[in-house]
Structure 1
Amino acid sequence: MAPVITAMNSDLLKGIIPENHEICTLEATVITGLEEVAARECQEKLGAVCVLARGRVFLDIEITRVPEVLKLRAVDNVNVVIFMVKNFSFPDSREQCFERLYKLAERPDWKKGTQVWQQTFGYEGNPIAEIRPLNNEICTPRPDLDLKSLKQSSAILDNLPQDVLPPHLRQSQKDDKEDDDEKEKDGGHAEVNSKEDLNQEEKSSRIREERGPKFRISCSRTGTTHKFGSPEAARQFGAGVNEMLGWPVDLSNFDMEVLLCIDTECVYVAICLTKEPLFKRNLTSFGPTNLRATLCYNLMRLAAPQPGEVVIDPMCGGATIPMEGSQTYRSVLHLGGDNFGQAVKRSRDNIDYLIKKGRSMVVDVAQWDATRLPLRSQIVDAIVSDLPFGKRMGSQADNRVLYYRALVELARVTKISTGRAVLLTHDKKSMIRNIKRVHTLWKTGGSQTINIGGLSAVIFILYRTSLLADPTLKAEWSSKKRKHEQDDQATREVVI
C-alpha cells in the first residue's frame, strides 16, 4: 500500500520549485491500491519517475509534455501542483487557522500553474492581470453555512467550540433554544445584511469579470485534529485568492478549479487539468455494476496480454473490460460474455457506439454460462473479469457455488502452464475458500486490495498449473449436484 501524503518523500519533486520554469509537478489521482500499476505506465510511456502516495502519484514533467499525461489510461484526474509543504502546523485557535489559510494564497506559484492550465484549456488572455497584496482581513466565518452538513459522527466535532456548532449538533436543547431565539431577534437585520452583502458581491463580480477566469476552491481534508471543516478552509483560502488575483468566484460555471488538499500536517495546492474524470469514457449504455474504464485498464495491465493471445471476460456485464482492453491491446482478441441477455445487449450498444466514433476494436460478445463455456479446451490465454460482489448482484451464498464452478470451467478452457487469470471481487472469503479447493488447477500469484468508492475489493492473480484436469473436482461437483437435485425432489414430495 502506498504511503499517506504526509509520509511520502516530497523532496524528490523538483517541479514545485518556482525557479524550475520548464518543469512542473503533476498529481494524478488513481484508484487506491493501484498506485504502482499507474506508476509503471508513467515510466513506460513518459519515462517519468513517480512519487507514490495513497490514491495518487506525483511526477515531474516538462510543461510542453503535459498533454501526454492526459492521455494516460490508468489515472482518473490530473492536476498541476503549485505549492506543497509537509509541516504546515495549524494553531489551536480557529481564528488563527483561518488567518493562515487566508494568507496561504500568497505562497503558490500561480504563474506556472496558470501557464500549464492555459496551455491545457486554451484560455485566451492573461489569467493574471495583476497581483495585489492582501489587506489581512480574513473572510467572515459562516459556521451556519459551512458546518451545516457536518454529521454527528464527524471526527472534528470534538475540536469545535459549542458556540459555532449548527443547531443539529448542539449537545443541549438549551443551546438550540438560545440559537432559535437569537435568530428570531436578529432575523430582520440578518436578512437586510445578507441582501446588502449579496448586492456587493454582485457588483464586485461584475467589476472583476474581465480580470481573469472564474474560479472555485474545492477542499479535501483528512485528519481528526483540525478545528475547522472543509467548507471553512475553502472559504478562507478562496477569499485570499479572490482578493490577491481579482478572479471572480463562480461555484457552478467556473473556468478554473483550484484544489486545496489538507492532510494531517501536509498541505498542497493544485489546479485541476481535467474537467471530467478520465475514467468517463467508452460507455453509452450503463448497467448497475459498471467498472471505471481506468480500473479495467489496470486489470488488463496485470494480465499483461501478448500479441496474438485470446483474452476473455466470462462475466462481462456491459463489456467494460473487453472494450478497454481492445483499445489498448489491439493485437489481442478480446471476448466477453454474460448469461443475462440484457447485459449482452448493453455490451453490443457500447461497442457499436465506439465503432461509430471511428474506433477499431478486435472484440466480440456472446450470451453464455460462465460455468459451461462454448469454447474448446486450452484455447484461452488470459482471463480478466469482475466477478459478482454479492452486493448489487448475487449473494455470498450464490458466490460460493458460482466461484467454484467458474474456476473449474475456466481451468478447462485456459492453456496449461502459461494461462493466467485476473479476477476482481469484494467477496474475498468465498474466493479464497474456492481457490484452495481448486489448488490443483490454479496457483495463487498474489493479490491486491483496492478501494472502489469506499468498498474494499481484492484483485486475485492466478496462474494455470500444468495439470490438464482434476477428475476429483468434477466428481465432487457431480455428487453435490445430485444431492441438490435429490433434496429438491424430497421438498416437492413433502409439499405435495
Structure 2
Amino acid sequence: MLSSCGDEEAKQGAETAESPQCPCTDATSADIFTVTIGATVPTGFEPTAAEEVKEKIGVDARISKDRGRIYFPVSTDKLFQVHHLKSVDNLFVVVEEYDHYQFKESKEEALSEFQQLASKLPWTNALEVWKLNGALKKKKGHRKGGSGAKVKPNSETSDATTASAEQQELPEAVSVAEGQITSDGSPDVESGTQEEATPKAKLIKFRVTCNRAGDKHSFSSNEAARDFGGAVQDFFQWKADMTKFDIEVLLNIHNEEVVIGIALTEESLHRRNISHFGPTTLRSTLCYGMLRLCNPQPSDVIVDPMCGTGAIPLEGAIEFNSAFYIAGDNNDMAVKRTVNNVCHIQKRRAEKGSVSALPIDTVQWDLCSLPIRTSSVDIIITDMPFGKRIGSRKKNWDLYPSCLREMARVCRPGSGKAVLLTQDKKCFAKAVSRMGGLWRKLFTVWVNVGGLHAGVYLLQRTGAVFGQTPEDVYESRGTVNTQVDEKQEKERS
C-alpha cells in the first residue's frame, strides 16, 4: 500500500528526532514504495551483514544461496540508510529475481530467452530508485568501470558494452519510455514539445555486467551479457558504453538463481577509510566484520600488533569509538602509512565540522616483545602474515607461536579475546594447539581474501595466569626475524 512521505513521518513520530530527515523533496506528493535491495558482502560474513541490516534499518535480510550476497526490503523514504551500512561492499536495487529459472538446454534458445526477457521486466520502480539514489549523494564526476558486484574466483564476469569517447554528466532523471535525460532533471511529457522543452537532452549510457557461477549453463558470461545487453539497448534506446556509463545493469546467475538489478554504488564502499594503501591492505568491510565478532565494549583496550596500513584500528576507532585502539607494526613504512591514514580521516572529519580526534595511537614495535603491561589488553585483532606477499611459510612456524605467546601475556586472563585472520591454516592450527593452556578457539569464519581461502579465528584467553603454564617457556626452533629486509621493503614500496 502506498503512502505519502508526510504520512510516514507522522507514524514514526519520535524517530524523527534521532534519524536524519527524509530526503524526499516533496513529502506531500512523493509516493513511497518498497523495493528489494541487494548487497555484496565479504564472503563468510553474510550473517554479520544481516545482523547489521536488522540493527540499523529494522528489516530482516535474506542470505543468498550465492555466497557473498544478501537481500532485504527497503521503502524509498529510507533508501539513504542503506549507504550507512558498514558491512556491505556494493549495493544494487533488484529489478526481478527468479529462484528456479529453467534455462533452455541449447545455447541458442537460452540466449534467445535473455533477449526476450529485457522487455518483460518491471523496470519502473528500480529506475525510480536509481534516480532517487543519484539525488541522495554528491556526484563526483562520471562513474568508472568496476563498480558492479564483486565476483568470486570460481565465477565468470563479462561486460556487454560498446566504447564511446564522449563524457557526459550523471543524469538526474530518466524517461523509461524514451531512455533520455533532460537538462533540468525532468522526464519528457509530450514528444511533440520535446525539442523546445529539452534542448539539451542526452542519451543514457549503460553497460550490462554478468556474474555467473555454475557448471550447468550452455552459455558463457560474455554471451549472456552481450545478448541481454543488446535487448536492453533496443528496449530503452540507450547507448552502450563500457567505462563512461550512467547506469549499470547487473545480471547475476548462480546455478538456477537469476537476479537482475541496477547498481547503486559507483565505487565499492570498502574503500571508505584508506588513502595510503599497502601490499596487503584489508577491505574496510572485512575489518568491520572482524570487529563485530569481538563485540568491543566501552573503555576496552584494543590492540592490532601487525596493523599494516591501520585498516582494522581505523575502522574500529570510527565505528566503535568508545574503545581505545593501539596500532603497531615492526615496519616503519607501515607505521607511516597508518599515521597518514589517521591524519586523512581526521582532516576529512574536521572539514565536515565534526569532532576530528580519533581514539587511536600508533607505535613501532617488535610484535614478539610488545611494550605493553601484562594482562592489560581486552582485545587483540590483527591480520597475520599469510607467508605469501609478506614473510614466508617457513618463518610462520616460528613466528605464530611467538606471537600467540606474547598476545597471551598482554591479554586479560579469562575475559580477553583475539580475532586473528590468516590463510596459513595448518601453521596456525599447530600454533594454537601449542598454546592450548593460554588460548581456547571458539569458532572460525571462513572468508575469501583476494581469492585466497582464509580463516578468521576467534580465540578466548583462558584463565591461566601468565608465567605459570608450560607454554610460557616455549622456545622457538630458531630465531624469529620479524624485520623485513631491505630488498623486500624496496619491492613493497
**Structure 1: how far apart are the matches of 2:39 and 2:391?**
34
Unaligned ranges ≥5, structure 1: 1-19, 133-208, 485-496
Distance in structure 1 (CA, Å) of the matches to 2:373 and 2:336: 25
CA distance in 2, matches of 1:35, 1:101: 29
Contact persistence 1:82–1:113 (CA under 8 A): yes
Structure with greater proportional helix content: 1
* Structure 2 residue aligned with 1:332: 323
Take 1:462 and 1:482, find their aligned partners in 2: how far apart are those partners?
26
- Aligned counterparts, 1:428-467, within 5 A: 428-467=425-464
- Normalising by structure 1, we get a TM-score of 0.75
Q: Distance in 2 between matches of 1:367 and 1:130?
A: 61
1:107 counterpart = 2:120: yes
- Equivalent residue number for residue 87 of structure 2: 74
What is the correspondence of 1:131-210 to structure 2 with a 5 Å cutoff? Answer: 210=201
Counterpart of 1:277?
Answer: 268
Q: Which has the larger radius of gyration?
A: 1
Q: Name the structure 2 match of 1:38.
A: 49
Distance 1:333 1:479 in 2: 32
Number of positions where the alignment pairs a residue of Structure 1 with one of Structure 2 = 391
**More deviation, 353-362/44-53:** 353-362
Tell me if 1:22 matches 2:33.
yes
Distance, in Å, in 2 between the alignment partners of 1:251 and 1:449 is: 34
Q: Is 2:171 aligned against 1:128? A: no
Runs ≥4 residues deviating over 3 A:
123-126, 209-212, 470-476, 478-484
Equivalent residue runs for 1:50-65 within 5 Å:
50-53=61-64, 54-65=67-78
Partner of 2:293: 302
Shift, 1:286, TM fit: 1.2
Hey, what does 2:208 align to over in structure 1?
Answer: 217
Segments of structure 2 that go 5 or more residues without pairing to the other structure are: 1-30, 136-169, 180-199, 350-355, 482-493
Structure 2 distance, partners of 1:31, 1:479, is 35
1:289 aligned residue? 280
Q: Distance in 2 between matches of 1:483 and 1:384?
A: 21
Give the counterpart letter for 2:90 in structure 1: N
Alignment of 1:381 onto 2:372: no
Q: For 1:370, give the aligned amino acid.
A: L
Deviations 1:253-312 (A, max 9, x none): 101100011122121100000000000121121111100011111111111110011000
Structure 1 letter corresponding to 2:177: E
Q: How far off its partner does 1:473 sit?
A: 3.7
Distance apart, 1:440 and its partner CA: 0.9
User: 1:207-266 deviations in whole A, cap 9, x for unaligned?
Assistant: xx9465211101111111222211211111111111112222222110110001112212
Separation in structure 2 between the aligned mates of residue 277 and residue 297 of structure 1, nearest angstrom = 15
Q: For residues 463 and 46 of structure 1, what CA distance do their matches in structure 2 show?
A: 31
For residue 200 of structure 1, what is the aligned residue in structure 2?
none
Percent identical pairs in the alignment equals: 38
CA gap 1:65/1:482 in 2 versus in 1, 3 angstroms: closer
**What residue in structure 2 maps to residue 226 of structure 1?**
217
Q: Which residue of 2 aligns with 1:11?
A: none
Letter in 1 for 2:175: I
The Cα of 1:448 is off from its aligned counterpart by 1.1
SS at match of 1:446: strand
Structure 1's 212 and 482: CA in aligned 2 closer, same or farther, altered over 3 A?
Answer: closer
For residues 440 and 172 of structure 2, the distance between their equivalents in structure 1, rounded to whole angstroms, comes to: 60
